[in-house]
Amino acid sequence: MKRLFYNGKIASLDSNNTFYEAIGIKDSKIIFLGLDTEAQATKSEYDERIDLHGKTVVPGFNDSHIHLLNTGYAMTMLNLDPFNSIENIIDGTLAFIKTHAFSSEMWLLGRGWNQDKLKEKRYPTRADLDRISHTIPIIFTRACGHIAVCNTVALNTIGMNSLDTHDENINTDKGLFQEDALNALYAAVPSPSKDEIKDMILKASNALLKQGVTSVQSDDLCCMPDRDYEKVLQAYHELNHEKKLPVRVYQQCLFFEESDFEAFAKKHYRTGQGDAFFKIGPVKLLLDGSLGARTALLREPYSDDLLNSGIACFEQNELNRLIQRTQHYGFQVAAHCIGDKAMDMFVEALKNVPSFNKEADHRHGIVHAQVMTPDIIRSMSDLHLLAYIQPIFLDYDLHIVDNRLSHRANNAYAFKTMLESNIKLCFGTDAPVVDYNPFENIYTAVVRKDLNNQPETPYLITECLTVNEALKAYTLNGAYSAFEELYKGTLELGKLADFVIIDQDIFSIDPIEIKNISILMTVLDGQIAYEQI
């Protein structure tokens, strides 16, 4: 099958930032790029010719850190994001229960609350959720995924006695669980079957195609309550084998215990195994929590909670050993670090590996990299670490960053400084933590305001990126972080035909409008995967 798209503004994002008018594809690959007049000569050889009517084309987006399966799982849960008070959550959930046939064996799972967006400015509690039901076990997870609250039925189902009451991450009075302790809570929830998992992957992937996302780097293996990563891998392999996987997936393999990672490695799983639609990616490590929940690990205490410096998921010596094991097996590593102290720990652990060669093509990276300092930027640059960042986090974080960090906010979310220090920026959304819309993400990186165009003066205006820099971080650099830049990420001859047609010219419109851009068509692997009707 040969298709020609002509009369467009095609941004190749190649090293010269070349624009073309026409792009020709054969099966999954790009075979022609040039002017319309040049395309004219071979026009008749194409099976289909599509007039772009002057619209802009960019490479398909690569969401470099997302939870695809969890995004699909969240689609099966009650969405708590629209509720602006705890009272509304209670009323809304009662209405939800009335319209859904709930039995006492079923769990009611909700996701998306954030105390800063609630009128009461506090976490919901067990007592609040008890007002919803004394028979249905309920768990409501915070938007960040690092904290959850449950009702008394849920606690009783888990078995109060089985809980470690000295664990500082569990507060049974309030029904609150955070970080590692969440495992004890979720373990009681019935796990979806492999077929249900396949459905969730399909639902989330198809939603992403509508937003122009053609590749994801997704952290899914242990996200189901039973943490059965073989079941998740099997679901992916079956979808891929059936040629039904809608987007390309590079799996960021998160493990909570060293023993789980060892077992995985002993089964000979390695970074890079797979094909153009599904690959094993890096080992993902979780070093701390989130800024909103004050669980990100800081060098100095939170400015609005002086006795708290966040939560370390590992002791330094534990982390050193684990990183050493990942390097023993030759894995790429992507470490979730939001706080400066967490980044310190990761850098120290890497340097501690005797065989670590910073000049080797390791492509290790830090996911989030938010509470930045000049010395950490120097270390990242020196060790050639990637920065997997989520500019859209600023929509919420720019309202809390001064309270949480005071003067440290002046170095946080230092996108331009990182870029100018030769750190490769790879954009992602961390969905379902926030929405997966790439244009809201690019908008935030370019204007550094929230989605309501506030504040008047951008947050750290010198850290604004250009549209071109933001697009490359969402395409080429994403491909680079998965060792795939030679065959995708830009529109060049011989590369994969993964691209999107958008309804506005992102290069010339007022940057304030970028967040409103929508996708007219998504082409993936040479096929029209989504078309706006």
Contact yes or no for 424/403 (Cβ under 8 A)? no
C-alpha 379/C-alpha 303 separation (Å) is 25
By beta-carbon proximity to Zn ion, the closer residue of 63 and 430 is 430
Nearer residue to Zn ion within complex by CB, 430 or 525: 430
Pairing of strands 56-59, 9-11: parallel
Give the contact letters, 103-142, x = binds to Zn ion (CB under 5 A), - = no: ----------------------------------------
> Could you give the CA distance from residue 345 to residue 122 in angstroms, rounded to a whole number?
31
Question: Taking CB under 5 A as the criterion, which residues in 230-249 touch Zn ion?
Answer: none
CA atoms within 13 A on the CB side of 444: 25
Looking at the DSSP bridge assignments, the partners of residue 137 are: none
Our CB check for Zn ion shows the closer of 219 and 525 to be 219
CB of 368 to Zn ion, least distance (A): 8
Give the separation between CA 77 and CA 109, rounded to whole angstroms: 5
Residues 79, 82, 85, 87, CA torsion sign = negative
Annotate each residue in 404-443 with x if it binds Zn ion (CB under 5 A) or - if it does not, as one string: --------------------------x-------------
First-residue to last-residue Cα distance in the chain: 23
C-alpha pair distances (Å), 463 with each of 159, 181, 186, 228, 472: 49, 36, 39, 41, 16
What token pair was written down for 189? 């929830």
Nearest to 214 by CA among 503, 2, 490: 490
Kindly report the number of other CB atoms within 10 A of residue 347's CB atom.
20
Query: At closest approach, how far in Å is the CB of 220 from Zn ion?
Result: 11
In the complex, which residue's CB is closest to Zn ion?
Answer: 430
- 3-class DSSP assignment, residue 478: helix
Which residue number, 14 or 63, has a Cβ lying nearer to Zn ion?
Answer: 63
Could you tell me the smallest distance in angstroms from the CB atom of residue 370 to Zn ion? 12
Judged by beta carbon, residue 335 or residue 372, the one nearer Zn ion is 335
* Ramachandran assignment for 455, one of left (phi > 0), alpha (psi -120 to 50 degrees), beta (any other): beta
Between 58 and 143, name the residue whose CB sits nearer to Zn ion.
143
Amino acid at 67: H
Q: How far is the CB of 429 from Zn ion (least distance, A)?
A: 9
- Minimum distance between the CB of residue 397 and Zn ion, rounded to whole angstroms? 15
Q: Choose between 211 and 522: whose C-beta lies nearer to Zn ion.
A: 211
Please count the residues of this chain forming the interface with Zn ion, following the rule CB under 5 A.
Answer: 1
Instruction: Give me the least distance between CB of 335 and Zn ion, in Å please.
Output: 11
Q: Tell me the two tokens of residue 121.
A: 């400015």
Closer of 71 and 93 to Zn ion (Cβ): 71
| CA 240/CA 246 separation, integer angstroms | 9
Two tokens, residue 233? 């891998």
Q: Which of 438, 338, 335 is nearest to 392 (CA)?
A: 438
Q: Going by DSSP bridges, is the β-strand pair 2-6/48-51 parallel, antiparallel, or unpaired?
A: parallel
What is the rounded distance in angstroms from the CA atom of residue 250 to the CA atom of residue 268? Answer: 17
Q: How far is CA 7 from CA 21, 192, 453, 490, in A?
A: 5, 47, 33, 19
Q: Does 63 bind Zn ion (CB under 5 A)?
A: no
Nearer to Zn ion among residue 71 and residue 151 (C-beta): 71
User: C-beta of 202: minimal distance to Zn ion in Å?
Assistant: 21
Minimum distance, C-beta of residue 65 to Zn ion, in the bound complex (Å) = 6
Least separation in angstroms between CB 75 and Zn ion: 17
CB of 336 to Zn ion, least distance (A): 6
Considering the complex, state which of residue 284 and residue 488 has its C-beta at the smaller distance from Zn ion. Answer: 284
Q: Interface with Zn ion by CB under 5 A: which residues?
A: 430
